[in-house]
Amino acid sequence: MVSYKLLLLGLVFAGAVLQSINGKLSPTSYLPRCPNALSIVQDEVIAAIKNKRRIGASLLRLHFHDCFVNGCDASVLLDDTPGFIGEKTAVPNNNSLRGFEVVDRIKAKLEKACPGVVSCADILALAARGSVVHLGGPSWQVYLGRRDSTSASRSAASTSIPPPASNISSLLSSFAAQGLSLRDLDHTIGLERCTSFRARIYNDTNIDDVFAKSLQSNCPVTGNDNNLASLDLQTPTYFDNLYYKNLLKEKGLLHSDQELFNGSPADALVKLYASNTFAFYYDFANSMVKMGNIKPLTGGQGEIRINCRKVN
């Protein structure tokens, strides 16, 4: 995943614009039918993070990988069956995505409280915000009322999510295809497998030598493919701006990370985020609002799945 990445003119304004565009999404969508929906999601997210802190970044990534493939429709949650191929085994997702059991627990609680009301797509959106907030990051308005897809596309998942070796041009093209821009290439938490950063720590020249050697001890030239390293070695499970400070020192874990500070217009944003946490938080929150509104299914489209892993 793109690692897997101003000033507060207002989430309220940005949200109002998006609501007028989508019409059918609303932050209060569940108040009449499932008034405790948001607290149920948040309580389960907090419990999951307390049990395994890295799951917060995993839930955030789930939302990202969902929205980038034909919109925010929970297609990423569908399991393969003998007659159906989902997105979980696509190259960017296989052995990379986790948190599905957390979504299952949230869905079970919601189905008990208000059967057939809250979509799996909205669970992903709410869980992403809940994770970021609990890990010390900003909050944002989540517009609700998405419905769940009845299909998935492994081919689209394989091509729509930017790979870790992407250059800045590829990153910008990938985000532009989703209606997103340079300011939306922001992120800070998560872990990556050795296979994702091996080429960078052995082949790239724009990397701090000591940093590269420290990673090589855990990620040899061959083998140990599933060994993990954090996007931010200092505060791997806390949402802050150290990721950007590391980029200034050529300590980006992925090739695509360091591309954000490698002689392109993105350099100015990296410097801004490294020096101004408020600016980073503001842009990140706005980006999450925008991403969460990528091609949602509404009205009579799709369905509200009873089980997030399979169509009704």
CA torsion sign, 293 to 54 to 195 to 172? Answer: positive
Which residues, other chains included, contact 81 with Cβ-Cβ below 8 Å and sequence gap of 6+?
A: 310
Q: How far is the first Cα of the chain from the last one, in angstroms, to the nearest whole number?
A: 30
User: Rounded to whole angstroms, how far apart are CA atoms 69 and 57?
Assistant: 19
Element (H, E) at 203: helix 194-203
CA angle (144, 186, 128) in 5-degree steps: 35
Which residues, other chains included, contact 240 with Cβ-Cβ below 8 Å and sequence gap of 6+?
A: 136, 137, 188, 232, 277
SS3 228: strand
Contacts 24+ apart (CB under 8 A), 279-282: 279/6, 279/7, 280/186, 280/188, 280/241, 280/244, 281/137, 281/138, 282/6, 282/7, 282/8, 282/138
User: 16: which 2 tokens?
Assistant: 């109002």
User: Rounded to whole angstroms, how far apart are CA atoms 15 and 26?
Assistant: 9
**Is 237 within 8 Å of 279 (Cβ atoms)?**
no
65: annotated active-site residue: yes
User: Rounded to whole angstroms, how far apart are CA atoms 63 and 299?
Assistant: 21
Which of 65, 134, 187, 255 is labelled catalytic? 65
Residue with tokens 């909205």: 122
As annotated, the active-site residues are 65
